[in-house]
């Protein structure tokens, strides 16, 4: 992935995502006589509640990770990992780095010693610059 | 192109429609025996156990084609380059091609569904200046996707990674009759719901799921229980099921099959199916209230589990009846 084509690919910004619930999908239903029909429907009665909750859980995890990064308990990789809604095993498959190495990289002391080549691998998947990867505050622009 | 509820059935409808085969979405779903239940606590998606209401991705397409006598070709790849070359070759020969993709990087997908969900299906039908033209049966209108994005969505990682899976129809018989395939599909579904000797699948699976729901708040605490419940409701209602975990689609199929095969019994069963669907909808509607405040559930999990047990009883009755219908 080169630097030019990065801007036109956008990973969703899970941290600040405001979901609108207008998207309609086809729903089937049955009337009293047992006849079936289908129509486009945006909400079946609980869409907002369940969707909001599942995003709320993601956002909570991001907030937790961010706090821990600020306290220097974990490296920024933990924050970006949560931001991309991944866990260690999925991340490992995406960036091609073994799970135990990622877990090591989550320690701040180890993170500071990682070379640029490996940082670039992370940065490519998170779609940020290496500068932003090192300093999570700058990623907010 | 036709909009549909279930992405894979929709992709199959669109692929067959290209070859002038008129078939509805419920029909594909029924012939492909997509109806299913499985609760797999050892598989985690979005940090919650997986509850599935349909068969494995890819099965609906392959079973439909097999039952209809349509020949197809399906491939997975290790190298992204090779997969794109193969796709170009198929498109150049004038055939549309179905692909299984991950939703996380899919640019035209609505934001709320862009989690790591790797079982989305869509049809590619052309290429224009390095952009692929896509008929997605869930998103209205034609979509475009650039080469780089497309590589990325075809090779996502994680649970059920598609590895660039693509499928296209190679040969189609002259006269297609839906009668025999529909019967095959019904029998397959009956077997899968009643007779698979594995406790996590079929009607037994529903009961197992209910027992699990009962234990969630005790074992994991209210917050996690609510998270698990939310995820199972999402896969029940949201992820392209057409409502109540495909129960309504299947009812529509039985209704259609009743006309096709001239069996009045099927109409009755279709109605019962709809009632089972209503009961599931009941569960998801009440369950969703629990997600409002994660710490304090509005309805007890015992109560919700009872509803699921109800559904299990209803479905067991339906499929036992369906199994006994004489199609001769």
pLDDT (0 to 100) of residue A119: 86
Question: How far does the CA of residue A138 sit from the closest CA of chain B (Å)?
Answer: 24
Q: Residues of B with CB below 8 A from A27's CB?
A: 5, 242-243, 248
Q: Is residue A69 part of a domain?
A: yes
pLDDT at residue A4, as a whole number: 38
B309-319 per-position pLDDT tens digit: 888 888 888 88
Question: By a Cβ cutoff of 8 Å, what residues of chain A touch chain B?
Answer: 1, 5, 8-12, 17, 19, 21, 23, 25-30, 34-36, 38, 40, 44-47, 49-55, 57-58, 85-87, 89-90, 93-94
Q: Evaluate if residue A140 carries a pLDDT over 60.
A: no
Q: Are strands A25-30 and B71-75 parallel, antiparallel or unpaired?
A: unpaired
DSSP state of B108: T
Where are the domain boundaries for CATH 3.90.70.10 in chain B? 7-171
For chain B positions 164-223, those within 8 Å of chain A (CB to CB) are none
- Say if A14 falls within a structural domain: no
pLDDT interval class at A129 (50, 70, 90):
confident
Q: Among A29-38, A66-75, B252-261, where is mean pLDDT lowest? A: A29-38
Is B226 close to A94, i.e. CB distance below 8 A? no
Q: Is residue A121 in a domain?
A: yes
**Is residue A19 included in any domain, yes or no?**
no
Count of domains forming chain A: 1
Over residues B105-159, the pLDDT tens digits come to 887 777 777 777 788 888 888 888 888 888 887 777 778 888 888 888 888 887 7
Q: CB distance A57–B227 less than 8 Å?
A: yes
CATH architecture of B7-171: Alpha-Beta Complex (3.90)
A37 inside domain: no
Would you say B229 and B287 are in contact if contact means Cβ atoms under 8 Å apart?
A: yes
Above 0.85 for ipTM, yes or no?
no
- Residue A93's domain is classified under what CATH number? 1.10.260
Task: Provide, as residue numbers in chain B, all residues whose Cβ is less than 8 Å from the Cβ of A38.
Answer: 5, 242, 252
Asked if the Cβ–Cβ distance from A50 to B252 is below 8 Å, we say no
Residue A28 lies in a domain: no
Non-local CB neighbours of A48 within 8 Å, separated by 6+ positions: A21
Instruction: Tell me whether residue A2 is in a domain.
Output: no
CB contacts of A12 in chain B (<8 Å) are: 111, 114
Q: Which residues of chain B have pLDDT under 70?
A: 1-2, 240-243, 245, 294-297, 328
The answer to whether the Cβ–Cβ distance between B248 and A30 falls below 8 Å is yes
| Segment A84-99 mean pLDDT | 84
Q: Domain range for residue A120?
A: 58-140
Please tell me which of the candidates A11, A25, A55 has its beta carbon nearest to residue B138: A25
**Partners of residue A85 in chain B, C-beta under 8 Å:** 46, 104, 115-116
DSSP string, A10-79: ----GGG--------EEEEEE-TTS-EEEEEES-SSSHHHHHHHHHHHHHHHHHHHHHHHHTTSS-HHHH
pLDDT of residue B241: 67
pLDDT at A7: 42
């Amino acid at each position: 992935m080169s630097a030019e084509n990065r801007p036109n690919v956008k990973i969703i910004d899970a941290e600040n995502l405001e979901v609108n619930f207008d998207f309609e999908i086809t729903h089937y239903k049955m009337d009293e006589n047992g006849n079936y029909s289908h129509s486009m429907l945006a909400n079946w009665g609980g869409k907002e509640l369940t969707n909001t909750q599942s995003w709320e859980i993601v956002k909570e995890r991001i907030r937790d990770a961010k706090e821990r990064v600020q306290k220097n308990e974990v490296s920024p990789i933990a924050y970006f990992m949560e931001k991309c809604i991944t866990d260690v095993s999925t991340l490992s498959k995406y960036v091609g780095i073994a799970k135990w190495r990622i877990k090591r990289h989550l320690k701040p002391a180890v993170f500071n010693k990682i070379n640029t080549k490996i940082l670039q691998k992370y940065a490519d998947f998170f779609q940020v610059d290496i500068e932003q990867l090192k300093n999570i505050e700058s990623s907010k622009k | 192109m036709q909009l549909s509820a279930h992405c894979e059935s929709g992709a199959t409808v669109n692929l067959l429609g290209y070859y002038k085969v008129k078939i509805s979405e419920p029909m594909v779903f029924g012939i492909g025996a997509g109806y299913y239940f499985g609760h797999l606590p050892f598989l985690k998606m979005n940090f919650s156990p997986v509850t599935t209401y349909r068969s494995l991705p890819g099965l609906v397409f392959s079973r439909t084609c097999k039952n209809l006598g349509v020949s197809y070709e399906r491939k997975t790849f290790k190298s992204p380059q090779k997969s794109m070359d193969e796709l170009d070759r198929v498109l150049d020969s004038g055939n549309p091609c179905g692909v299984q993709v991950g939703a996380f990087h899919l640019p035209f997908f609505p934001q709320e569904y862009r989690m790591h969900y790797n079982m989305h299906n869509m049809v590619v039908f052309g290429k224009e200046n390095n952009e692929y033209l896509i008929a997605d049966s869930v998103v209205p209108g034609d979509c475009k996707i650039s080469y780089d994005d497309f590589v990325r969505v075809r090779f996502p990682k994680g649970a059920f990674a598609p590895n660039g899976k693509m499928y296209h129809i190679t040969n189609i018989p002259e006269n297609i009759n839906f009668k025999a395939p529909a019967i095959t599909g019904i029998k397959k579904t009956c077997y899968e719901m009643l007779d698979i000797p594995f406790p996590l699948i079929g009607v037994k699976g529903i009961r197992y799921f209910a027992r699990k729901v009962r234990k969630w708040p005790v074992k994991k605490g209210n917050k996690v229980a609510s998270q698990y419940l939310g995820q199972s409701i999402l896969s029940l209602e949201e992820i392209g099921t057409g409502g109540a975990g495909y129960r309504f689609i299947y009812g529509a199929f039985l209704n259609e099959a009743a006309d096709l095969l001239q069996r009045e019994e099927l109409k009755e069963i279709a109605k019962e199916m709809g009632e089972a669907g209503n009961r599931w909808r009941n569960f998801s509607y009440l369950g969703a209230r629990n997600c409002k405040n994660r710490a304090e559930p509005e309805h007890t999990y015992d109560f919700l589990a009872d509803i699921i047990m109800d559904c299990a009883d209803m479905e067991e009755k339906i499929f036992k009846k369906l199994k006994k219908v004489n199609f001769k």
